[in-house]
């Protein structure tokens, strides 16, 4: 028999269960040895400026406009599967479920406004404002604001309250009902754009490079940007229509409320991710929203969602039921299974190292949660952070240098490090290079010799970002490049790889292999 449970009880349960992993966490072990570290007292920018002046770039053929547009459409589709974007699908559904409850809501108009906002914002950002949008996406205050916004939405979906306009706004717009929905839809689309930008940027960074290099006209760049944005936003147009149309189907019963509650759990999980991202930007490593703490709450959310789907308790808008449906049972099984799958990651392995389950599912979860920088690779590589000394070492040993432009808030970077770099075919090739990681948002404290201030770490990251833009004509993350020492104190840029999230492992292997064969 089910009982009615106030949502505040859920919060108490979450906090209690989340304390468990903190008791079991072990000291982090570096899975990749750190080579040359950055000096904590020397200004990094002059060194990078000198290096940039001594890099020789290979001439490359500019792709045709038709190929450029096709690539824009292809990357629009690929971007939908990235860890930043994919979790936004249920959030989009939950938002439009609430919109669909309004009597005079026009699902077609709302869906059009939602997708048009995304297309316009991303299309313009692709060629004009990419740096500003990038800075906004990794801004800790923006992430905190999004976290509270998602918690607010989740509480509404749980039935704690209904989101309504203030009475004075209702009176002011009584003759033009529905516009409040449009404003909310535009705001949701803007929030979605900011949230997804760290994964959308890999293709859009190419637009910034083309704009800086002048390889294409402004009209061609805008055309490619709009094609990318339209392809990317098209599925969300259908998702925006879908819940509103479902609401109008007969005999929907209480299942619609069940969907909303389940979406509320997902929004709570997303909120924790944003709080973790914010703390990573302020403190490295984080002390409150640690990896284990957030993962523990995620597991608690999955367990609570599974119990809810089994009708073990009720929330304010639920009705008593004698039995549950088959689909509800299947989703409960999925929630419990995922919780069980993630649970071992809270405890250390036999040798004290982090216990990380195998498989692509955990790789996605791990990347979305942004693991601490010292546990992002299990390849046994020696990874440096000081490019100047690494290049000097490469010249002495006649070796190539692999540059990994990354960031502490880069989800695709973590996904590549956990799911691609450890593959034998990739790891064996990377060991033949001298490897350098270059952080463009903030440099982790453990990559310095001595203690570096927060201001120093931010300043060095800005210098690295400027270096990336100057040498590679892009600011996308991740970007991979290979440098080869040549005569006259110069360094040849022999290759760049800008796929972002690596979907074609064979192509990445060929990228690593080709310079070694010359």
In the predicted model, what is the mean pLDDT of residues 178-206? 65
In the predicted model, what is the mean pLDDT of residues 116-139? 68
Q: 393: pLDDT confidence band, cut at 50, 70 and 90? A: very high
For residues 326 and 333, what is the distance between their CA atoms, to the nearest angstrom? 11
Beta-bridged to residue 38, according to DSSP, are 448
Beta pairing class for 38-39 and 448-449: parallel
pLDDT at 170 over 70: no
The reported pLDDT for the residue numbered 7 is 44
Weakest mean pLDDT among 49-53, 211-215, 324-328, 423-427: 211-215
In the predicted model, what is the mean pLDDT of residues 67-71? 73
Whole-prediction pTM: 0.61
For residues 73 and 227, what is the distance between their CA atoms, to the nearest angstrom? 6
Closest listed residue to residue 162, CA positions, set 104, 111, 99: 99
Measure the CA angle with vertex 38, ends 420 and 495; round to 5°. 45
Asked: is 374-517 a CATH 3.90.1280.10 domain? The reply is no
For residues 83 and 392, what is the distance between their CA atoms, to the nearest angstrom? 37
Residue ranges per domain, the chain? 1-30+287-371, 62-280, 374-517
Q: 277: pLDDT confidence band, cut at 50, 70 and 90? A: confident
For residues 21 and 343, what is the distance between their CA atoms, to the nearest angstrom? 9
The reported pLDDT for the residue numbered 334 is 92
Weakest mean pLDDT among 311-320, 405-414, 420-429: 311-320
Number of Cβ within a 10 Å radius of residue 361: 12
pLDDT at 8 over 80: no
Q: 352: pLDDT confidence band, cut at 50, 70 and 90? A: low
pLDDT at 513 over 70: yes
308 cis-preceded (ω within 30 degrees of 0):
no
Closest listed residue to residue 31, CA positions, set 457, 378, 312, 354: 378
The reported pLDDT for the residue numbered 80 is 73
- Better-scored residue on pLDDT, 306 or 327: 306
pLDDT at 82 over 90: no
HEC-encoded secondary structure of 330-344: HHHHHHHHHHHHHHH
pLDDT at 401 over 90: yes
């Amino acid at each position: 028999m089910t009982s009615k449970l106030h949502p505040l009880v859920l919060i108490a349960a979450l906090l209690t269960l989340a304390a468990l992993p903190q008791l079991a966490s072990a000291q982090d072990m570096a899975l990749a040895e750190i080579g040359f570290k950055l000096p904590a007292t020397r200004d990094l920018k002059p060194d990078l400026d000198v290096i940039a002046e001594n890099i020789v770039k290979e001439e490359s053929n500019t792709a045709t406009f038709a190929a450029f547009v096709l690539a824009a459409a292809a990357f629009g589709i690929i971007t939908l599967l990235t860890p930043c974007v994919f979790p936004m699908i249920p959030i989009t559904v939950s938002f439009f479920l609430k919109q669909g409850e309004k009597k005079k809501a026009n699902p077609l108009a709302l869906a059009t406004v939602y997708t048009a906002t995304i297309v316009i914002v991303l299309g313009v950002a692709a060629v004009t404002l990419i740096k500003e949008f990038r800075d906004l996406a990794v801004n800790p205050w923006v992430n905190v604001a999004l976290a509270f916004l998602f918690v607010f939405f989740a509480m509404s979906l749980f039935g704690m309250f209904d989101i309504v306009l203030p009475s004075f706004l209702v009176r002011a717009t009584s003759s033009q009902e529905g516009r409040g929905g449009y404003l909310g839809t535009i705001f949701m689309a803007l929030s979605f754009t900011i949230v997804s930008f760290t994964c959308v940027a890999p293709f859009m960074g190419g637009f910034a490079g083309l704009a800086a290099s002048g390889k294409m006209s402004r009209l061609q760049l805008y055309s490619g940007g709009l094609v990318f944005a339209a392809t990317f936003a098209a599925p969300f147009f259908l998702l925006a229509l879908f819940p509103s149309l479902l609401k109008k189907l007969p005999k929907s019963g209480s299942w619609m409320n069940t969907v909303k509650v389940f979406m509320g759990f997902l929004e709570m999980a997303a909120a924790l991710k944003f709080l973790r991202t914010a703390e990573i930007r302020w403190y490295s490593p984080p002390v409150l929203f640690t990896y284990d703490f957030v993962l523990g709450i995620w597991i608690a959310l999955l367990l609570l969602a599974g119990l809810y789907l089994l009708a073990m308790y009720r929330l304010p808008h639920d009705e008593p039921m004698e039995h549950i449906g088959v689909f509800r049972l299947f989703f409960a099984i999925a929630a419990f299974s995922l919780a069980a799958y993630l649970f071992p990651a809270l405890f250390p392995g036999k040798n004290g190292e982090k216990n990380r389950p195998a498989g692509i599912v955990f790789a996605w979860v791990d990347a979305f949660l942004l693991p601490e920088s010292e546990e992002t690779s299990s390849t046994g590589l020696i990874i440096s952070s000081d490019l100047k000394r690494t290049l000097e070492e490469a010249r002495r040993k006649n070796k190539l240098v692999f540059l990994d432009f990354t960031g502490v808030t880069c989800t695709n970077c973590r996904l590549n490090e956990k799911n691609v770099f450890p593959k034998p075919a990739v790891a064996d090739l990377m060991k033949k290079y001298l490897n350098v990681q270059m952080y463009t948002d903030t440099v982790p404290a453990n990559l310095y010799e001595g203690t570096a201030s927060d201001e120093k770490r931010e300043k060095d990251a800005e210098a690295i970002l400027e270096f990336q833009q100057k040498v590679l004509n892009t600011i996308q993350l991740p970007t991979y490049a290979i440098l080869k020492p040549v005569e006259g104190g110069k360094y040849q840029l022999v290759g760049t790889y800008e796929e972002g999230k690596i979907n074609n492992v064979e192509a990445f292997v060929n990228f690593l292999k080709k310079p070694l064969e010359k």
